[in-house]
Chain A
């Protein structure tokens, strides 16, 4: 158990190092200017129905990834 914990801790540090060495924008990991926004179908908060950013194609869109906290 102890070995596993230590290993996980080491893994965590490795992940951290990789992120730093890539110099990536960690908060927007995977999202890059000039690339298509990923295909993702998610429930709408209002009614739980499926929706995606793809359904707004044809119109310029401002997307806020946020939290109410």
Chain B
């Protein structure tokens, strides 16, 4: 991409050429940060649902003045010939607003298309309406692979926003899995699961560039575009800096279970296993998300010590680490959602069935309603589905 940019920049400035980008990523602000870093100022359109239907990226297209595709994945050397070609029908047409409106093709009016438009333009309510729409499509035809993928995208979008509902992320992963099973050659879909899933045998550096981009931009005195969701886990080819895995010999911090339980769920723990179904010999990535209860005005108390997390593991499965520590922020009091991720591997020969990962978190919180600061333990269970 940067190579193309260096080549087209001049023609773009001269008004001879327009450069446009389309991305299928779940979080578009990451692509914006990439473009800010690479000083690529052209318009970027967001196609998280993959309405364009591409099964991989990158793809470069030459479009003529009329919007006709002249070349797919051309060599860079072909640009001058493309620019030299006569415009369609002589001079380039000048479009007024009215004529542009006339170009609007009739939109296919069915459940799927309606759900797509709700997702794109309906704001937070639209995402929930899109979820219902895709569900209706799948009720009629569970093998509608596109609807499966788009439903996953919509669930994940809602998970990242203020209207998050229980299981949104886990449902996203399930539907992405269904879509990929229906069409295993869809690379865009495969990447969605991989980015949240276990480290690949050959780790893929989805977002390792983010760190360098931020450093470079700050060095130039430019404030990097803020990301709504920080990349983490398998999105980096190396362990993420936000979560430190300590000495594996650390012992269970509360073996007798003497710490008082958070019986009121002042902290809500959501768990997701990615992929949602695995086979013997495969790995699974566990995402745990801990959120203070907003209604009870609960906040983290950061003045004591780090949040600790202990897991029992599953039978003879390999586990990255049983003990995890979430380093608390510098501010005395915060309300952020805290995520902890780690991986397990089912040994060869694991029979199909539901396996349960048990563990608990230890944390310091304060609640404004009762005015108390507490040290609490919360136990959790994560079901892991092993299939044939």
Contacts and interface: CB of A to CB of B under 8 A. Distances in A.
Interface string A39-69: 1111111100011111111111111111111
Given A34-B69, A38-B52, A50-B121, A28 B184 contact: no
Given A46-B43, A54-B103, A68-B209, A29 B17 contact: no
B221 interface: no
B159 to A, nearest CB: 19
Contacts of A29: 53-55
Nearest to A59: B18
Given A27-B54, A33-B71, A67 B43 contact: no
B20 A64 contact: yes
Contacts of B207: 68-69
Nearest to B178: A8
Chain A at the B interface: mostly helix, strand, loop or mixed? mixed
Contacts of B187: 27
B375 interface: no
Contact of B45 (A4, A9, A30, A43): A43
Interface string A17-33: 00100000111111111
A64 B52 CA distance: 12
A30 B95 CA distance: 27
B31 A68 contact: yes
Contacts of B191: 67, 69
Interface stretch (B56-64, B168-176, B256-264, B332-340): B56-64
B8 A36 contact: no
Contact of B182 (A11, A41, A69): A11
Contact of A64 (B21, B121, B195, B206): B21
- Residue of A35, A37, A57 contacting most chain B CB atoms (<10 Å): A57
Contacts of A35: 68-69
A68 B27 CA distance: 10
A57 B22 CA distance: 16
Contacts of A46: 32, 43-44
Contacts of A33: 69-72
A56 B195 CA distance: 33
Contacts of A45: 23, 28-29, 31-32, 44-46
Nearest to B83: A60
B92 A68 contact: no
A67 B25 contact: yes
A27 B185 CA distance: 9
B143 A11 contact: yes
A1 to B, nearest CB: 9
Contacts of B51: 40, 42
28 contacts: A2-B388, A5-B387, A8-B178, A15-B145, A16-B185, A25-B72, A31-B52, A37-B67, A41-B120, A43-B45, A44-B44, A45-B28, A45-B31, A53-B20, A55-B100, A57-B65, A59-B17, A61-B67, A62-B60, A62-B63, A63-B19, A64-B22, A65-B22, A65-B24, A66-B22, A66-B58, A67-B57, A69-B191
Contacts of B31: 45, 66-68
Contacts of A34: 68-69
Contact of B30 (A15, A25, A68): A68
Nearest to B44: A45
B183 A12 contact: yes
Contact of B55 (A26, A38, A64): A26
Contact of A37 (B21, B25, B63, B204): B63
B77 interface: no
Given A8-B182, A28-B59, A64-B4, A59 B69 contact: no
B92 A40 contact: no
Given A60-B64, A67-B31, A51 B53 contact: no
